[in-house]
Amino acid sequence: MSALEQLKKYTTVVADTGDFEAIAQFKPQDATTNPSLMLQASQKAQYSYLIDNAIEYAKNKSDNLEEQIAWAADKLIVNFGVEILKIIPGRVSTEVNAKLSFNKAATIEKAKRLIALYEEAGISKERVLIKIASTWEGIQAAQELESKYGIHCNLTLLFGFPQAVACAEAKVTLISPFVGRILDWYKKTTGKTYESVEDPGVLSVQRIYNYYKKYDYNTIVMGASFRNAGEIEQLVGVDFLTISPALLTTLQQSTNTLEPKLTVEKAKAMDIPRVSYINDEVAFRWDMNQDSMATEKLSEGIKKFGEDQVKLEKMLADRLTSLEKKMENCSL
């Protein structure tokens, strides 16, 4: 039995890609996407039909170029999600524009619009997770989306323990703590190399998992952003893991024996102090500020996703403008 098959016995495996072929190959339960993955996938010729459809949809929605770009971007990521859901049995995560990370009201409206686009395509909101950055505003938006609208959320770019606690208290469906990016920061800052068993990203997810199980939080912990298979092996037993195609291949080819490192029983037996940020934005921001890694990586992640969103929108703007010129020339 391959390491991947063993892993699936203890942990739900999610594909971290927008590539349909890779998803079909590894047969994950769920799939996650983000602006960076969408940008990569949209540059492949075999997915051009999804872009064409998004462009056509946007042109029918508005005569204003700026509004067309926004509609095309939203429709494109939903188009990818719809295709992914034809392959997987579970849910797909679709990300809210990173530029809205500090705007609660705008995040809520964008999430509702994305869900409306899915429902228009015949997809129930139960099969979609709306991905939102784990800022204070993002967490508050997710709380309202979950409780008021029944829209399930995946809180991403999660690096610090305060983010995890606040997400659990907000009763969000799922969180995505970023293992590899945490390791990156510590390697750069300390100059050290880390074995998987002492990997700071691994330890962060283990801490969150144990805290959630100790206090019976229902929020799913989904480790993300891995740098090597060793990190994954140290998190066997965690609720979910979202894994890139490259590492899924490594696990598929490996025959290492995997055993659960994390269990509810072990977590329940631990002496873990309880923390709370309910209605306490000041305490949340203060504790986040004390964690240089979490603060820097959250900012960096939002910036990177924002940059890739801009690139994606520019590609769509160029297509829209080119199409408009062709139509003008045909009418002459």
d(CA 2, CA 26): 12
DSSP string for residues in 291-319: -HHHHHHHHHHHHHHHHHHHHHHHHHHHH
d(CA 85, CA 23): 10
The verdict on whether 171 is a catalytic residue reads: no
152 closest CA partner among 133, 134, 172, 136: 172
Which secondary structure element, helix H or strand E, spans residue 80, and what is its range? helix 65-85
Burial class (CB in 10 A: 0-12, 13-18, 19+), 204: buried
| Backbone dihedral angles phi then psi of residue 127, each to the nearest 5 degrees | -100, 10
d(CA 317, CA 106): 22
Q: Which of 131, 213, 214, 297 is catalytic?
A: 131
Structure tokens at 3: 């390491």
Catalytic residue ranges: 131
